[in-house]
Amino acid sequence: MATPADCGSPMELPPWFDLEKFQRGQDFMKRNIFTFLYTKLSGLVCLLAVPSILRVLCFTSQSGEPCSAFNRYFSTLSHMMEWYNGDLLEPGSKAYQSLKLIRSRHAAAAKRSRKAGLGLMSQFDMIVTQFGFMGFAILHPNFFALHREKREAWEGVTHFWRTVGYLLGIDDRFNLCTGSLEETKSLCLAIQDKVLSPGMKNPPAKFKVMAHSLLTGMQCTIPSLGFEIKIKMIMEDLLGLPCDLKMDFSSRFTLMVERLTFSTLLRTRWLAFFFRPIFNGLVRLALYISARFPFIAYWRYGKRNIHFH
């Protein structure tokens, strides 16, 4: 797909925008912020196995080691939370300004990479990145204990990401969420099976370094993150691929707890009633502390090296 990453659409809400549906998607994701954050981090790791995306990330030199990766990816999470909570009807809102800033950064990165001879950042890169934000949740609601949610909630999610994608320059012809829920699932499945699975089976040379930096850096917010844990979960539970990574006892135990969380604690109704609010609250607390008092990051990397927007 040789179409430029930004289709040139105006930075304004499209005529098909449905506020009620959009807010339904926001509410659904906020009610399940723990799960959606987990799926998003899994998606981000997989994006690093896509050569065209990895080349640009390596070129920008903003996430190649844990400190810079923390700055970059915590900033990404902060922007995402603005989208979840914001009002896009108001051009002066934080959510709207966040999307405007991200779009301008994408344009700058595309221009720099093109001048450096890395090729064109394309709509393909944009829709694969869009998958990284929501694809695993759409494809694996049963695994992530979201299987009881109504169709209207999922349609709200796809409308949310269709809108966000549009405002970031994704052409409606290529947007994963333009069609019905079934069409979105079909497109996401194609990306998972034809792009991400081959990439994870035979990752590019710098994948391990970049993925390790991402997960190590984000331990400042989520201490349980680990390279072997995350890769094994992605490969075996989401992509259905064998994974022979060796793990120490601590990693094996953490992986067991993560699997138990989705298979039991968030799946069984009465347990989910108790644990889901706790997990959601812990995520919000972790994000708040990292944004206001990132002491772990200061301790690891030095206060002067921590800066995110």
Tens of pLDDT, residues 176-201 = 999 999 999 999 999 999 999 999 99
pTM over 0.85: yes
| Residue 2 pLDDT class (50, 70, 90 cuts) | low
pLDDT at 203 over 60: yes
Q: What is the mean pLDDT of residues 128-136?
A: 97
Of residues 244 and 61, more confidence is placed in: 244
Q: Beta partners for 122?
A: 4
Q: What is the mean pLDDT of residues 13-24?
A: 97
pLDDT value at residue 121: 84
Phi (first) and psi of residue 201, to 5 degrees: -70, -40
d(CA 258, CA 42): 13
pLDDT value at residue 62: 74
In this predicted model, what pLDDT tens digit does every residue of 206-263 receive, in sequence order? 999 999 999 999 999 999 999 999 999 999 999 999 999 999 999 999 999 999 999 9
pLDDT value at residue 112: 85
| Mean pLDDT estimate for the chain | 94
pLDDT value at residue 35: 98
Q: What is the mean pLDDT of residues 139-159?
A: 97
The percent of residues above 70 in pLDDT, for the chain, comes to 99
Residue with token string 């509410």: 27
| Residue 169 pLDDT class (50, 70, 90 cuts) | very high
Q: What is the mean pLDDT of residues 66-78?
A: 93
Instruction: Look up residue 265 and give its two tokens.
Output: 């604690």
Q: What is the mean pLDDT of residues 5-13?
A: 91
CB 121 within 8 A of CB 103: no
> Amino acid identity of 173?
R
pLDDT at 1 over 50: no
CA distances from 97 to 21, 84, 100 (A): 21, 13, 5
Q: What is the mean pLDDT of residues 145-157?
A: 96
pLDDT value at residue 154: 98
